């Protein structure tokens, strides 16, 4: 058999690249994200199903995937090439829902294992005695993963058929429609095309100008895959005309050198079940057989597709890396919006605290009536309550600002980010907790300070005065004075100092905690800047090894 010139370093670089591609994530719903995700999957499919196995085992049989629009006669073509009914053909569309792989019995072991298309569960039809009678031969790699007879619902399956009529070293894969109404079929068809050494494109006299097959042809050209084009179901009377036009279209699209086979419309092609006469498919069969059996042609077919795929990485990897970096940039923008909102709010809270904004409303009423009509405990309660209200207000203002900013970001529509529980009550609870903790620590400070003094003043009253002095700004000047009278100027200064620091800490802690809570879903998506660099690095390593 033929060998491609493959060095182990290349394989290593390739598998490193594959891992990088597999780890690329696009969780944010940016405009390019679905496309990037599909590109990633497609690239992964091509690497896993085709490039890596092909480079590892260049002697494996040539896989020709028959693809085309619905009703183009793919199954009939495969059946005719094989010479018996292996894939169901019919008039109802879409006909082929399960892909069928046909190979020579000798080659069966290549495909029974998970060498290619590992995601598809292998099944085979029970009505082929040759398979049942011939269990795993020595050297066959099926043992660890014996194919099953049936497949569960939702499982994607690949049916493997063997036919001695096919030459060794050639396998045909009958793919579902590339433009099927069933979306799963479309995806599967694309994935199968990715695994092909030879792309056999089937179109018909009625379809050769359709947009969809041309997209496929263009794709094949882009990847520089080994391509064969089959014009099927051409009525006899217009055969030459249509064939010429199709050729002209191909040449215009820069695909002039693609081998082109024309198969006339025969009664058998429409009815389903019938096989086309051998003469009709003979040229195609001969071409495929030649590829499979002539080492040079085989090597050429394989290496062309492989090399085309490798060089297509040059453009596809940067695209992927670009999408990754777009994700990171979007995540950065979202984070920046959150940070910005909380920074602003923090500044605002500091301003309000300095201006004595806490000593307003109830707290102010209490303070005015203190000490005659209000106890120290009530004053303290009111002040702590007011502090909590200030913090809650700033947190929800930040939340609103973030919502506004994020509503302009498409990335914020992500379900993970949108599913924020309405936790106003939760935030209220958490902030209240923090405020009460601050009060408790303040009381401890006061008790500590008062312990040394003879004739200790009422700690609660001192705490209330201290809290008022700390939070009341200018309007609580008298509170500071009274405090100094009660506990001594030095002690008052020390208490105010410590209390002030504690207050700053408390505010920062609350705002930071709420900010982190807000960012938690985004952080959970784990969007890192490194993956872009890693993708490019893996590509450049691969380029060096090539």
Residues 172-211 that bind another protein (CB under 8 A): 178-181, 183, 186-187, 189-191, 193-194, 204-211
In terms of CB distance, is 124 or 367 closer to another protein? Answer: 367
Contacts of 201 (CB under 8 A, 6+ apart): 67, 68, 213, 216, 217, 220, 227, 228, 229, 230
The H-assigned helical ranges of 408-423 are 415-418
383 counts as binding another protein under rule CB under 8 A: no
Q: Which of 346, 366, 430, 439 binds another protein (CB under 8 A)?
A: 366
In terms of CB distance, is 86 or 205 closer to another protein? Answer: 205
In terms of CB distance, is 410 or 529 closer to another protein? Answer: 410
In terms of CB distance, is 335 or 365 closer to another protein? Answer: 365
Count other Cβ atoms within 10 Å, centred on residue 23: 13
- Assign 482 to helix, strand or coil: helix
351 counts as binding another protein under rule CB under 8 A: no
270 counts as binding another protein under rule CB under 8 A: yes
Give CA–CA dist 46/488, Å, rounded: 81
294 counts as binding another protein under rule CB under 8 A: no
DSSP track, 156-196? -EEEEEE-TTSPTTEEEEE---TT-SSHHHHHHHHHHHHT-
Q: Which of 87, 303, 482, 531 binds another protein (CB under 8 A)?
A: 482
In terms of CB distance, is 170 or 412 closer to another protein? Answer: 412
Token pair listed for 127: 């009505």
Q: Which of 371, 416, 420, 520 binds another protein (CB under 8 A)?
A: 371
Q: Are strands 100-103 and 226-234 parallel, antiparallel or unpaired?
A: unpaired
Report, in Å, the least distance between residue 233 CB and another protein. 8
Q: Which of 84, 424, 429, 509 binds another protein (CB under 8 A)?
A: 424
Give CA–CA dist 51/223, Å, rounded: 12
373 counts as binding another protein under rule CB under 8 A: yes
Q: What is the footprint of another protein within residues 65-124 (CB under 8 A)?
A: 69-72, 91-94
Contact 33, 167 (CB under 8 A): no
In terms of CB distance, is 92 or 296 closer to another protein? Answer: 92
Contact 30, 411 (CB under 8 A): yes
Segment interacting with another protein, rule: CB under 8 A, options 3-11, 14-22, 114-122, 366-374 = 366-374
Q: What is the footprint of another protein within residues 18-47 (CB under 8 A)?
A: 34-35, 38, 42
490 counts as binding another protein under rule CB under 8 A: no
In sequence order, the β-bridge partners of residue 100 are 159, 174
């Amino acid at each position: 058999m033929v060998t491609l010139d493959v060095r182990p370093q290349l394989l290593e670089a390739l598998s490193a690249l594959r891992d990088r591609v597999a780890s690329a994530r696009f969780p944010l719903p940016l405009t390019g994200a679905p496309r990037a995700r599909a590109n990633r999957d497609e690239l992964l499919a091509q690497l896993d199903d085709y490039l890596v196995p092909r480079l590892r085992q260049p002697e494996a049989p040539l896989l020709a995937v028959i693809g085309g629009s619905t009703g183009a006669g793919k199954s009939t073509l495969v059946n005719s090439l094989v010479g018996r009914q292996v894939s169901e053909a019919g008039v109802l569309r879409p006909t082929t829902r399960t892909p069928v792989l046909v190979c020579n019995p000798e080659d069966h072991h290549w495909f029974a294992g998970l060498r290619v298309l590992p995601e598809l569960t292998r099944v085979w039809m029970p009505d082929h005695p040759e398979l049942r009678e011939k269990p795993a031969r020595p050297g066959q790699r099926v043992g660890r993963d014996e194919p099953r007879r049936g497949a569960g619902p939702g499982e994607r399956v690949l049916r493997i058929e063997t036919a001695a009529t096919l030459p060794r070293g050639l396998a045909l894969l009958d793919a579902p429609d590339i433009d099927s109404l069933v979306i799963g079929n479309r995806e599967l068809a694309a994935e199968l095309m990715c695994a092909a050494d030879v792309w056999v494109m089937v179109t018909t006299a009625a379809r050769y100008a359709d947009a969809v097959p041309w997209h496929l042809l263009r794709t094949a050209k882009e990847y520089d895959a080994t391509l064969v084009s089959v014009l099927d179901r051409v009525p006899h009377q217009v055969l030459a005309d249509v064939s010429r036009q199709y050729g002209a279209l191909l040449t215009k699209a820069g695909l002039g050198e693609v081998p082109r086979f024309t198969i006339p419309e025969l009664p058998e092609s429409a009815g389903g079940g019938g096989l086309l006469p051998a003469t009709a498919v003979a040229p195609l069969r001969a071409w495929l057989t030649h590829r499979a059996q002539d080492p040079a042609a085989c090597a050429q077919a394989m290496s062309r597709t492989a090399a085309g795929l490798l060089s297509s990485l040059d453009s596809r990897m940067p695209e992927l890396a670009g999408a990754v970096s777009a994700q990171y940039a979007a995540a950065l923008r979202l984070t920046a919006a959150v940070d910005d909102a909380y920074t602003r709010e923090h500044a605002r809270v500091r301003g309000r605290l300095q201006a004595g904004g806490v000593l307003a409303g109830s707290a102010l009423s209490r303070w005015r009536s203190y000490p005659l009509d209000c106890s120290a405990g009530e004053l303290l309660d009111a002040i702590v309550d007011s502090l909590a209200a200030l913090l809650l207000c700033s947190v929800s203002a930040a939340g609103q600002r973030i919502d506004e900013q994020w509503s302009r970001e498409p990335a914020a529509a992500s379900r993970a980010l949108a599913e924020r529980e309405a936790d106003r009550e939760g935030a209220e609870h958490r902030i209240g907790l923090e405020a009460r903790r601050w009060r408790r620590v303040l009381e401890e400070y006061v008790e500590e300070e008062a312990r040394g003094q003879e004739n200790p003043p009422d700690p609660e009253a001192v705490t209330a005065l201290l809290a008022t002095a700390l939070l009341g700004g200018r309007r609580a000047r008298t509170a500071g004075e009274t405090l100094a009278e009660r506990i001594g100027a030095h002690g008052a200064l020390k208490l105010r100092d410590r209390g002030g620091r504690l207050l700053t800490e408390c505010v920062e802690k609350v705002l930071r905690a709420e900010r982190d809570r807000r960012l938690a879903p985004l952080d959970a998506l784990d969007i890192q800047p490194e993956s872009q660099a890693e993708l490019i690095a893996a590509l450049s390593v691969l380029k060096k090894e090539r």
